Amino acid sequence: MKIVLGIETSCDETAASVVREDGTILSNLVLSQLEEHAAFGGVVPEIAARAHLEHLDTLIKAAIHDADIQFSDLSAVAATSGPGLIGGVMVGMVAGKAIAAAHNLPFIGVNHLEGHVLTARLAEKVTFPYLVLLVSGGHTQILIAEDVGKYKRLGTTLDDALGECFDKSAKLMGLGYPGGPNLEKIAAKCTDSKTARERFALPLPMHGRAGCDFSFSGLKTAVRNAIEALPAGDLQEKDIAALACAFQHSVGDILKDRCQNAMNSFQQYYPQNDTQTNALPAFVVCGGVAANQHIRTILKDLTRKAEMDFMAPPLTLCSDNAAMIAWTGLERLNKGLTDPLDIAARPRWPLDPTAEKKLGAGVKA
Ligand code: KG4
Ligand code: ZN
């Protein structure tokens, strides 16, 4: 059975993992650089690249050791080749290419987004085609996964990514980095969401419009205005809890509206369910923000009503990791999609090259 080493260095996680063709994760190591970046309230590209360089070799050795294999047992090496912070991506690619060259193995340059999208097939053997909501710190997209390497983008953000909106709003609320999980925690302290929403009437950008695009910068600005309107002095926990709760509910409403449109489109493209297995088509939510319980609950309910099958990978596979890169390597290897050793890193790399470019979204589209 084939075995692939995966390397992920596109943002602030240094990760290495070994995955077998049957979906068994033999090792999965993630080293977070949270502490290095916390003082700056966000990821600093230069610090990230240096930290990857410092830790990657040891981490790869440990991943091979934990998997109880030798480099010579590998069938291929896969490394994230974009999109992401170019310095970090290059560190991971150079390491991956060197191992591939030294052991005479095929190299696979993986699109980080494809890694997130194909995780559904690693975790639960989801079959093509399926609908995906990818919500992370860097990306917010809705895609139809048609096959390995074949994606149709139905929607993307026109400005901030959802995770970024969580992080920036949390920062305004005085919560530590990364903001998403902290915002969710404090929102849980609010017991009356209806009153919270009436008190902080937050906007629902793009809600009710045709299509599946998102916009989150207005929501973040509304959070800033709401905080500035609070009584002067230290922020009170109960006020922040209510605001965080109102924020999460607004996000939930936006996602529900956008995903409903996406489900309608999916059903137009693929009117018939899988008649061979009678399986319902899957709706997959992935990326770091998929860890949010409120969001999961809302989307699960929506999926059930649309007669689709809800799937969210386990939390360790939702946030950035290298198992998803190794798995994508396996999927591509099985299709003969390997890359030459001079393949370049790509800071921007849309999964659907035919999708319309959106001004303002930049790398996020
Ligand atoms: O996928 P990921 O680990 O890295 C990127 O590729 O960006 O996503 C990280 C993002 C951060 O913005 C973080 O705040 C957000 O996911 N996040 C959450 C939660 N856990 C992580 N957002 C909301 N609720 C959470 N529980
Ligand atoms: Zn990611």
- Between strands 13-20 and 3-8, the pairing is antiparallel
pLDDT tens readout for residues 21-50: 999 999 999 987 666 666 666 677 777 778
Same domain? For 253 and 341 the reply is no
Going by alpha carbons, the residue nearest to atom 8 of ligand 1 is 288
Q: Which residues line ligand 1 (CB under 6 A)?
A: 11, 136-138, 163, 166-167, 178-181, 184, 287-289, 291-292, 319-320
Same domain? For 212 and 287 the reply is yes
Nearest atom, ligand 1, residue 287 CA: 1
| Distance from the alpha carbon of residue 75 to the mean position of ligand 1, in angstroms | 32
Query: What's the pLDDT at 276?
Result: 60
Q: How many domains are contained in the chain?
A: 2
Same domain? For 164 and 260 the reply is yes
| Distance from the alpha carbon of residue 206 to the mean position of ligand 1, in angstroms | 22
Query: What's the pLDDT at 97?
Result: 98
Which of 8, 289, 293, 316 most suits a substitution to test ligand 1, by most atoms within 8 Å of the C-beta?
A: 289
In a domain, 243, yes or no: yes
| Distance from the alpha carbon of residue 92 to the mean position of ligand 2, in angstroms | 15
Query: What's the pLDDT at 24?
Result: 98
Domain CATH code at residue 24:
3.30.420.40
CA dihedral 161, 163, 167, 173 (to 10 degrees): 100
| Distance from the alpha carbon of residue 135 to the mean position of ligand 2, in angstroms | 9
In a domain, 181, yes or no: yes
- Which amino acid belongs to residue 107? F
Same domain? For 71 and 160 the reply is no
Nearest atom, ligand 1, residue 116 CA: 1
Same domain? For 263 and 155 the reply is yes
Which of 136, 296, 325 most suits a substitution to test ligand 1, by most atoms within 8 Å of the C-beta?
A: 136
In a domain, 81, yes or no: yes
Query: What's the pLDDT at 105?
Result: 98
Same domain? For 188 and 270 the reply is yes
Same domain? For 141 and 234 the reply is yes
Nearest atom, ligand 1, residue 161 CA: 12
Q: Which long-range contacts (CB under 8 A, 24 or more apart) does 184-190 make?
A: 184/244, 184/248, 184/292, 184/293, 184/294, 186/237, 186/240, 186/241, 186/244, 187/241, 187/244, 187/245, 187/247, 187/248, 187/294, 189/237, 189/238, 189/241, 190/238, 190/241, 190/242, 190/244, 190/245
Taking the CA of 136 as reference, the closest ligand is 1
- Between strands 3-8 and 76-82, the pairing is parallel
**pTM for the whole thing?**
0.92
* d(C-alpha 3, C-alpha 274), whole Å: 30
Same domain? For 310 and 323 the reply is no
Nearest atom, ligand 1, residue 178 CA: 14
Taking the CA of 80 as reference, the closest ligand is 2
Query: What's the pLDDT at 38?
Result: 67
In a domain, 148, yes or no: yes
Query: What's the pLDDT at 46?
Result: 73
Range of the structural domain that residue 226 is part of: 127-315
Q: Locate 24 and state its tokens.
A: 């068994």
Helix (H, G, I), strand (E, B) or coil at 17: strand
Same domain? For 136 and 161 the reply is yes
* d(C-alpha 341, C-alpha 183), whole Å: 43
In a domain, 293, yes or no: yes
Same domain? For 273 and 331 the reply is no
Taking the CA of 171 as reference, the closest ligand is 1
Which of 133, 319, 320, 363 most suits a substitution to test ligand 1, by most atoms within 8 Å of the C-beta?
A: 319
| Distance from the alpha carbon of residue 344 to the mean position of ligand 2, in angstroms | 19
Query: What's the pLDDT at 290?
Result: 94
Taking the CA of 318 as reference, the closest ligand is 1
Going by alpha carbons, the residue nearest to atom 10 of ligand 1 is 137
- Look at phi and psi of residue 23 and say left if phi exceeds 0, alpha if psi is from -120 to 50, else beta: left
In a domain, 355, yes or no: no
Task: Write out residues in the chain with pLDDT < 70, as ranges.
Answer: 33-42, 273-278, 359-365
3-state secondary structure 236-282: CHHHHHHHHHHHHHHHHHHHHHHHHHHHHHHHHHCCCCECCCCECCE
Query: What's the pLDDT at 51?
Result: 78
Same domain? For 205 and 292 the reply is yes
Same domain? For 215 and 271 the reply is yes
